[in-house]
Amino acid sequence: MTGTAVDTLAALLPLPLLEQKTDGSWRAKLARDKAAGAEEDRKRAHVEATPLNPELLFYTLSPKLPDNAILSGDAGTATNFLARYLQMREGMKFSLSGSLATMGPAVPYAIAAKFAFPDRVAIAMTGDGAMQMNGINEMLTIAKYWKRWSDPRLVILVPNNRDLNQVSWEMRIESGEPKFEGSQDPPDFPYARYAELLGLVGVKVDRPADVGAAWDRRPACAAGSVYRSEHLATAAAHLLRAGDEPLEGTHQGRSGRRRRDRRVVQKSRCRHRTG
């Protein structure tokens, strides 16, 4: 018998060979294990780091995901973390380069999502290495087209750890080799400032207290420094947006856009803090 779990079980259950179990202890153990795993994840996401523990970004995003969001992940730790923390709900879509795990798809996939479903929020999650391969070029595409989308909200999350972290750890774990700086150190880049240069909204977040507000809209303009540790890849996150409205709720249309324009004017006073 083949089929989806729901249909197959519904067809099997009436058969006389199957007995309804009354002992629910295995199921109860699964529920306990799941709750323990969720608590473990909560603790991991709140391990203190300077400037930010990147896992906190994904942990905080999960409950804020809009109902029919379209998500994309890049090859790198962003996908490890989103797989760990984001609770997908019915109606959402998610893609990554699953077969070859090539770097670079998260931003173009999000752009494709906006053309296919312009009324849905798209969120790309990508490392700084993949962003430097093609993501920053693709921001030009977003700058060119975002006004055509009925809901302009497309968000890119870049945890800027200045490391090709996924592979730095593969090298440590599989070969016992220390990080090889010659290949593993992407240069720093002001992603948020670049977004602003293109007429998009760029927000740099480097204090844990600002993470929630950054996902909701934008943080208070907070200055801070980038700091790297060899053992915990910390990151100042950059959120790059077309459509400066909260993730939750519906797009506010033209009047919302006028409000956005006013906010951009207000924000320009602290433009120097977006870098």
Ligand X SMILES: Cc1ncc(C[n+]2csc(CCOP(=O)(O)OP(=O)(O)O)c2C)c(N)n1
Interacting residues with ligand X (CB under 6 A): 74-78, 101-103, 127-130, 161, 163-167
Residue with tokens 């780091």: 49
Comparing CA positions, the residue from 80, 38, 73 lying closest to residue 55 is: 80
Q: Which is nearer to ligand X, 105 or 208 (CB)?
A: 105
Report whether 198 contacts 139 (CB < 8 A): yes
Q: At closest approach, how far in Å is the CB of 235 from ligand X? A: 8
Nearer to ligand X, 163 or 196 (CB): 163
CB of 74 to ligand X, least distance (A): 6
Phi first, then psi, for residue 154 (nearest 5°) are -135, 125
In the complex, minimum distance from the CB of residue 81 to ligand X, in angstroms, rounded to a whole number:
8
H runs (alpha helix) in the chain: 5-12, 25-45, 54-61, 77-85, 106-116, 128-130, 136-145, 165-175, 181-184, 191-197, 211-216, 253-267
Number of H helices, E strands in the chain: 12, 6
Q: What is the SS3 assignment for 238?
A: strand
Q: Which is nearer to ligand X, 4 or 175 (CB)?
A: 175
The Cα 221–Cα 219 span in angstroms is 6
Residue with Cβ nearer ligand X (186 or 275): 186
Provide the minimum distance between the beta carbon of 16 and ligand X in the complex, in angstroms, as a whole number: 52
Nearer to ligand X, 146 or 191 (CB): 191
Pick between residue 102 and residue 268 the one whose CB is nearest to ligand X. Answer: 102
Residue nearest to ligand X (CB): 127
260: which 2 tokens? 């956005």
Q: In angstroms, give the least distance from the CB of 55 to ligand X.
A: 11
C-beta of 248: minimal distance to ligand X in Å? 26
